[in-house]
Structure 1
């Protein structure tokens, strides 16, 4: 399946225009992913705490909207996963902790997920995979498994969103780093965007490549040009 933006600034949509995940990030979606992992009683307390984190006022991009879009994209593109529920649960936690001034956000998020997974009765091997899935969103190395590749591609799907949504995303990232002087931000942001554009392919998996690669390269090139 090839994902396409519907031009509304939201993505993705199905062929008839309906979003693929009707529950969004509601408690029903949270319960469903835990049930798929064999946990019959998902923690509402953890869910509410997690959503509070995604709604923190300093988050302009790494927020509830980003979480919901990731879950929608993962279902919409539906790339082959060895353990789809593990990928989805890792997506719930991949930006659970986010402080722009810190460099250990992924580590702290992974540790939180590991604590929750242990308390929920998940086994050691599942917990290890979940931990690694969150840590791969540091984007500092190649994915080590098919599931890690799907998670990374999902996290990066925003780069291939519609022009309108990409513009909004670009502005959201700037707001998260509003304390950084403009000339410093432009230099650092250019380095990040050029790093993605310089890759042989931005998306590892074929379904994500087909859905987002071309638009991502157009979006990145346009954003880099504006930073000149």
Structure 2
């Protein structure tokens, strides 16, 4: 599996403990493969890596952003408002074992927390991470429609009369932003289509 190999190669930059690397990979795979994960799953990680690879030359620390991708949704509960904080805490614990220094661990922690508010940052690596995370918004009609169905399944605990107003609020937030995407690369690639997709979904809710 490509993701597993990515994780192993990444960890080998910091430790030679193959048992520990395997243990942490199994945890990632298990969490992202949970039955409740219809969108925030391993495919989401693959998509993010696919996007971030295209701007690798613009990333200051590719190891850090890679760890942030792997751990940013390791905890995902549709009923919780603290997924990012919990995911960041797990990353902190695991990366200490893997041998990253305090500064590196803090950077991953901060990047994961940034995925909560998705606000433009002074740190360009954070902006690239956020844009890769939201890149699904700018995909073609068919892919976007599938994404909306997956998100609805993740929130299936909520009936339509609760889900639809909440979802509309999320979509309105994106539409009110001056730019959905923070970096020039992603703005050029996805901004126009993302707004079209979001407006269409909003109208159909």
**TM tier, shorter chain?**
over 0.9
Which protein is richer in helix relative to its size? 2
Deviation (angstroms), 1:41: 4.0
- Residue 39 of structure 2 is aligned to residue 30 of structure 1: no
Deviation (angstroms), 1:79: 6.4
For residues 30-60 of structure 1, give each alpha carbon's deviation from its aligned partner in whole angstroms, at most 9, with x where no partner exists. 122224x443445111101111000000111
TM-score for the superposition, normalised by structure 1: 0.84
Of the three residues 45, 48, 53, the one matched with 1:75 is 53
State the alpha-carbon separation in 2 of the partners of residues 30 and 140 from structure 1.
25
- Residue 169 of structure 2 is aligned to residue 188 of structure 1: no
> What SS does the corresponding residue of 1:166 show, helix, strand or coil?
helix
Matches within 5 A, 1:1-228: 24-25=2-3, 27-35=4-12, 37-41=13-17, 43-78=21-56, 80-139=58-117, 141-227=119-205
The number of aligned residues is 203
Deviation (angstroms), 1:141: 3.4
Structure 1 residues 79, 220: CA separation in 2 closer, same or farther (over 3 Å shift)? farther
Cα RMSD, aligned residues only? 1.5
**Structure 1 runs not aligned, ≥5 long:** 1-22
TM-score for the superposition, normalised by structure 2: 0.93
